[in-house]
Amino acid sequence: MEAEWRTQLHANMYLGKKERIRLGEAITRYCESRKGTPSYKGILSCANVIAAHLPISKYIDELQSHDLERFKQRRSDSGICNQTILHNLGLVRGTWKFASKLGYQVSQLEFPQLKIAKPPVRFLSDVEESNLLVSLDPRREGPGLAPLNERSERIQQMLQDSYDLAVILLDTGGRYSEIANIEWTRIDMDARTINLWRTKVSNGLILHMTDRVYQILLRRQGNGRYVFQNKAGGARGYSTQSIRKAIKKTGLEGCRVHSFRHTLATRLLRSGMNLYEVKEILGHAKIETTMTYAHLELNETAIKARNLINAANSQRHHCQMRTAA
């Protein structure tokens, strides 16, 4: 489809004039170009928001920076957080670049700047993790769930998927999309390794499975292409509602699915790994990103220093006692 559009545009450009396209149609075409990607559902959701708050009947070359600024202000006044507004504007930016790439007329735009406050690093304690996994237990019973022996196979599989996904995220420190959409071709059960490709930073890493990750993958082995499949047999995509509900039920204030990644980083540092080693495990492109956890490493270093000083003081005290005797 994109090839046909390019052919048509090439002809128009040959005549010396670029074709125009309305914002709404450009958004539709951009969304179509993203079909089949893990972010497709989120893109469609953003497209609905844009359609409700921006003049999509305008030609995209008529769109002005002040239209975007007004959009930002209205969304902000409605209580929408800056992160969500940035996602919405990201769709407009993507559409704008896509239209320009295809040769349509586009205006010069300056996109609004929004500050995103960095929350403190939130990680789970051992007790919190245990409580969360109890809340995610696929065999659990409670409000809103049919008795175990009366549940449909599909519902039970969804519960199992959420539990398994949470454990693998906790033990690998992978980004949600890296684990939720992973294919079986990247899993080596004999070597007990996961060949994780980091799409966000375009690098890869061979991770060795923990015992519980191995047991989960051993149980999940099947004929599908993906470890976690949606109803159509494709990649799971972004579907975190069940895990988020369990987080809320467990009372984990300030915790998100991404906190599982922080949890692994924290445990590795507290077990003696340095920041550069943790950088490799997490797949950070730059050490500056890993420096988010620098205070944890400094804390562990301070604890080691205290223990060494205590040991030295104790040894000196014993020597003095022996000398006095």
**DSSP alpha helix (H) spans, 78-185:** 82-101, 126-136, 153-172, 176-180
Strand partners, 196: 205
pLDDT value for 317? 67
Give φ, ψ of 207 to 5 degrees. Answer: -100, 140
Torsion of CA 79, 71, 254, 267, to 10 degrees: -170
Segments making up each domain of the chain, as ranges: 2-101, 126-301
- CATH placement of domain 126-301: 1.10.443.10
Show pLDDT as tens, one digit a residue, over the chain (325 residues).
566 656 665 655 555 578 999 999 999 999 999 887 767 888 999 999 999 999 999 999 999 999 999 999 999 999 998 989 999 999 999 999 999 999 999 999 999 998 887 778 899 999 999 999 999 999 998 888 999 999 999 999 999 999 999 999 999 999 999 999 999 999 999 999 999 877 666 677 899 999 999 999 999 998 799 999 998 899 998 889 999 999 999 999 999 999 999 999 999 988 888 888 988 888 888 888 888 887 766 666 666 667 767 777 777 767 777 776 6
Is the separation of the CB atoms in 70 and 112 below 8 Å? no
Q: Which residue has the tokens 């519980």?
A: 212
CATH topology assigned to domain 2-101: DNA polymerase; domain 1 (1.10.150)
Sheet containing 187-188, strands listed edge to edge, beginning at the edge strand earlier in sequence: 187-188, 193-198, 203-208
Instruction: Report the pLDDT value the prediction gives residue 56, as an integer from 0 to 100.
Output: 93
Kindly tell me the burial class for residue 242, based on how many C-beta atoms sit within 10 Å of its own C-beta (0-12, 13-18, 19 or more): middle
